[in-house]
Structure 1
């Protein structure tokens, strides 16, 4: 936001330096980026009147002008042909300096003396965009009432300081000269000279009889719409002072009507738009959402495609403007315009931002609408524009006007709690001081039933709670005036929860075992499910699709960690890594139904993978068992099972307490081929981290060292290949009861002595009693009972 200081001083009685202004405004929350001094080079340029024009006797293309500068009459030679007797011009006197530091003196041109120079707009540092064609190519012709002899810098405000602010998005009220003036008045505690006001009445009239009918079909996107009619319009360049102020704000002049709308926008912060009334069908204004297939050629000559979420201003034939962004070429104000419909409206910021972003258009109007504008400002801005139109003789304003304002925005009322604000700021500011600061900021303060209330004006939509009031008081009171104090409340020490500690212990255990932790994207490609061979009816395919993905490769939320893990394995293999041991702890996103009606469940999983020449399924199984041991989970079951991504016959499900905790196995050759790793073997486990943490034993139980000796017995039984060793071990524990201290599988044998389709399993059993030494008879009886039960239950025989 660029603010010319001379314009600002019309609204605030500030007499200090520009440097102090920039420093204090920055400290009070309105950050100043730069200060630019313009027009300093221009010196000794005054207004002159052309008394006589004649051709140069020795040069056909040159003219000799006699110019009255009040002090004296000068003879000046010029090559410009757009002047005549009686014109008022800018005269650079001998010894003058013009834009760029160029010095002007007395010259002899083709045998005649030239005492100075007549200036063009560019030689005065002016943008000639809003000037007539003859002035763009020639000299700047001043209005007939320009006072002869007056310094041109005073007449056009050529010299000024422009302060550029970097404003925060929540301060929409500061994107205007008046908004910054209000901040300056509060910061320096000086009077604010703003006389703009409204009648205070909300009229709710949607029609000017016989002239215009306003229909708002999208009240959720348009909070207010005011339409005013200006007749007998005369399109011409705007006054030089207005053009200069607009240029200093970074806006190029167009013509008087358009310049007035831009001038009011910069002054008050409310965008306006002027339509050529005669180009509107039946004088109709319809504020609605766009329709599929509609297009509009905007003022920049580009054809824009309109979507169904684009807010447009339309007549009965179709769109005439992109609301809050840019007008249409079909209703542009031109030199032939005789009647203007002036729009002063309030549109929903997020919708304007989406439209501007989609179309790649960023205008001064859209910039302000995006931040959020006070709907009550629309009437003030419309009145101000009409005042300037009549003052400059640009047209005649019709008294009646349309104003559609469905839901009136009223000032917010918040309680002022002095003690709480002081406690928050660590200060001891009096109530009187707080009230004074709030009133300087344009807020009202009322006492009622022993309480004090702050009346927040509607232009301060960012103030919604007590903390916001405290911030306002702090910044105007002065951050550098706030004392250094310790926090008044008792600080608490942040600690990890039990589940977080267990998770960290798992990660540390895996790191100690030589595994590296990885992080992969939560968003994956839909093609990953095909690469993993996920069945079409499997729940893993029920993935949430993103509305605005970065690309197809990251367009759905993952429901398994497998794709990311395999991508990392592939990357490392491509880097010639021969030792790959990785793990990831991450969330998968499981929706209850699609399309989404509520947020998906975020389930934490842990995935492990190994790819090494000497490592196999049993190595990874041992790693998983180490995790269970760390969590003190007893007797996890590994059962042969099937998994869509794993090799059949080399896959097991893992269950704890009767619940499936995950799967472990070798990746299926077809899946390996899909990931371009068909010549490798990768072993992967994917476990439900939340279930493991739920089953983890959080208490450590100690028991005394055994006082009585243990006795060991071995047994080897022959069973069918389909019998799982884990099932036999569970049966042994069940039959052995309290006297069986431990059982371990120490050998699996298949050979000539074993029938085909069978295997020999050898177990070591440890017996011990806590209260006595077991006798051989007790041990032998129990051991025989276990053997008998196992042989009967699993249809086996003792190996001889």
Structure 2
């Protein structure tokens, strides 16, 4: 909501309060002022000029040489390229030495050989947005009415000597979507009175009910409808003050009739609509729900197909407006309009919301109807419109109005106590102070013993429960005045849980390893949501998804990480390494479970040293090293094992599952070449771990051992085995057989090919033996070593390579 400071002054006495101070007070009372813009900031030397002569530039087809009176002794020559400049116009002139927005200084100039002493300006050149300028001046200079004074300050005549406050309203504060609503808020803050604008006008003898009939089929959807008729209006541009009020609020001026309805929408928060009375063929207004398939061409010249749950205004036969949203083109106020029917109504917010959603058509009117307008202002708004049409359009207001009123006028009464207020806020506010706050808000209050009974005015539809009253007291008492207190009870310092500490360690390790953290959507398409899932699960689908791409909850984090890789690689990144810690959503027998996962995706060069000319591409062992580091950070590396596996979407020869205590807790692997090609990726590796399972493992306490005093003995063995034998199975058997003396087993070579029988391979291990209590003898090591070889020969048919 944009609030003009000078407009607000018409309703509340702001004497002595600057716009910035007012913004501070409003923000401290609970409505955030997002910006304070001075419309004429940095502009000077701009006056009203009178074009005395206009001649074609001798050397330029699109330029004119104008002689302009700017209020001085002599007229000045100005070269102007605006297509609509003409003799006799009153225009905006920036004199030599003037400054325009952006610190643009006006100097004497020579254009194609002709001297130019100043600049004839458009509104855009004074900082007004192009979309807010009236259409007739959108492509050229602005022209003043004839009655303005030459040489006067143009900014004052345009009402640009003003400040606009932008309010960031929360959905519950629909009352502040009007100038009078903001006036009530400011008046309560400053303890001032609100002055309502006059609505009295002189009506002719002819009665409205003799010219139009109104009926409503559904009283729940439209409990209040008021029609007034104004005859003999003269369509013309609005006066400058009215145009300025609309532009300051972000609305483009059109003509006096339309501008008056928009002005009252901003003033009262009550949307009105003006119909060309003579274009309503039956002189009857019938409010009903549309017939299925019925059509209406709205003011934006779009033909819309209606459904039976959308409320429309009709002439008894055909729709002439989509109720509360937008009028129809068939009854639009045009330049030849002479008689106007003014509609003022209260529509059910739900019915308006349905129409807005169905047509994706939101307007200033529908925004207010959707949130709920003040029903008590509907009649006032209609009378105010009639008065302004009489004053600004020369109209004759017909006596009375035609109404359908079935609205249930109930006063909302809410009760609280001073004790509850103080207990909630931690204050010592007296009953008199509480009562005074509600007086400033212009709420009717009754005090009965401890009870404070508040009769809430209809303009404040957001107040319905006791807590709402307490919030009003807190706002007006001042949040800064509420004392700071500490909770009562045993005080314990805040700290991270063990789970949170472990998660933070994992995140820091991955960041230190060179991965960037990503945060992706929990919602995915049904196809992608199933991909790369660690465990089988039913999909959880949304009943009303925003789109097909966001229709199901994910079972894995990897699909979106792959999309993130693709996005970055397409933007010339040589290396992309991402990780995410997030939730997946598993469903079984209609029970939804949320589990935390750690996933990573890596592609491109892992290391690049241009000076040495060295480039190290990413491979399986880099990705496995990162996973090992995560497991080591959680102290579970020695408790898990990797097993070769085949998984959908991953390379069949470069994929491993991670097993803990016999259960699958993760996997790591290269994307299948077809998947890489589909996403325009080179060699790419991914991993996913069941983070909750790993972090909830009870790890044995850390034990320290003395550094061995005695030397170790290493033996290398190269075993020839069948190609199907897994190196990890051999290593596990070596460890088991080696017993306490065998401290370390590491693989350092795998060979297949020449000098080996077909179907065989050679795997070389280094075995390290150590006794911390003494120096081992060759006999002891040889005995244990031969036992290892014998067991390997028996179980795997392994032989030593000669």
The TM-score, its normalising length taken from structure 1, stands at: 0.63
CA RMSD of aligned residues (A): 6.0
The change in CA–CA distance for 1:350 and 1:522 in structure 2 (over 3 A counts) is farther
Please, which of 619, 623, 626 is the counterpart of residue 620 of structure 1? 623
Please, which of 653, 656, 663 is the counterpart of residue 659 of structure 1? 663
1:582 equivalent to 2:577? Answer yes
The change in CA–CA distance for 1:533 and 1:755 in structure 2 (over 3 A counts) is farther
Partner of 2:76: none
CA contact (8 A) 1:225 1:346 kept: yes
CA contact (8 A) 2:738 2:788 kept: yes
Partner of 1:51: none
1:212-256 CA distance string (max 9 Å, x none): 331349x6xx5x44223446x52325999x968744532858567
The change in CA–CA distance for 1:592 and 1:8 in structure 2 (over 3 A counts) is same
The change in CA–CA distance for 1:331 and 1:789 in structure 2 (over 3 A counts) is same
Partner of 2:761: 759
CA contact (8 A) 1:664 1:683 kept: no
Partner of 1:641: 645
The change in CA–CA distance for 1:445 and 1:702 in structure 2 (over 3 A counts) is farther
1:45-64 CA distance string (max 9 Å, x none): xxxxxxxxxxxxxxxxxxxx
The change in CA–CA distance for 1:738 and 1:226 in structure 2 (over 3 A counts) is same
**SS at the partner of 1:178?**
helix
Partner of 1:236: 233
Structure 1's unaligned 5+ residue stretches are 42-96, 103-126, 130-135, 141-156, 198-206
Moved more, 310-319 or 431-440: 310-319
TM-fit CA distance, 1:765:
5.9
Partner of 1:17: 15
Counterparts of 2:7 and 2:676 in 1: how far apart (Å)? 73
Counterparts of 1:625 and 1:272 in 2: how far apart (Å)? 69
CA contact (8 A) 2:526 2:551 kept: no
Partner of 1:313: 312
Larger Rg: 1
1:728 equivalent to 2:766? Answer no
Counterparts of 2:195 and 2:572 in 1: how far apart (Å)? 71
TM-fit CA distance, 1:394:
1.0
The change in CA–CA distance for 1:449 and 1:253 in structure 2 (over 3 A counts) is same
Partner of 1:343: 344
CA contact (8 A) 1:558 1:589 kept: yes
Counterparts of 1:33 and 1:511 in 2: how far apart (Å)? 41
Counterparts of 2:671 and 2:15 in 1: how far apart (Å)? 75
CA contact (8 A) 2:216 2:404 kept: yes
Partner of 2:440: 440
TM-fit CA distance, 1:441:
0.4
TM-fit CA distance, 1:723:
1.7
Partner of 1:249: 245
Counterparts of 2:785 and 2:231 in 1: how far apart (Å)? 114
Please, which of 225, 233, 239 is the counterpart of residue 227 of structure 1? 225
Partner of 2:686: 685
The change in CA–CA distance for 1:160 and 1:738 in structure 2 (over 3 A counts) is closer
**SS at the partner of 1:249?**
helix
**SS at the partner of 1:515?**
coil
The change in CA–CA distance for 1:697 and 1:168 in structure 2 (over 3 A counts) is same
Please, which of 587, 600, 609 is the counterpart of residue 607 of structure 1? 600
Counterparts of 1:726 and 1:386 in 2: how far apart (Å)? 91
The change in CA–CA distance for 1:181 and 1:752 in structure 2 (over 3 A counts) is closer
The change in CA–CA distance for 1:442 and 1:571 in structure 2 (over 3 A counts) is closer
Counterparts of 2:713 and 2:244 in 1: how far apart (Å)? 99
Moved more, 365-374 or 353-362: 353-362
Counterparts of 2:232 and 2:339 in 1: how far apart (Å)? 8
Partner of 1:268: 268
The TM-score, its normalising length taken from structure 2, stands at: 0.63
Q: What does 1:69-218 align with in structure 2 at a 5 Å threshold?
A: 164-170=164-170, 171-192=173-194, 211-216=213-218
CA contact (8 A) 2:323 2:352 kept: no
TM-fit CA distance, 1:755:
3.1
TM-fit CA distance, 1:460:
1.9
Counterparts of 1:714 and 1:765 in 2: how far apart (Å)? 6
CA contact (8 A) 1:297 1:328 kept: yes
CA contact (8 A) 1:544 1:557 kept: no
Alignment size in residue pairs: 658
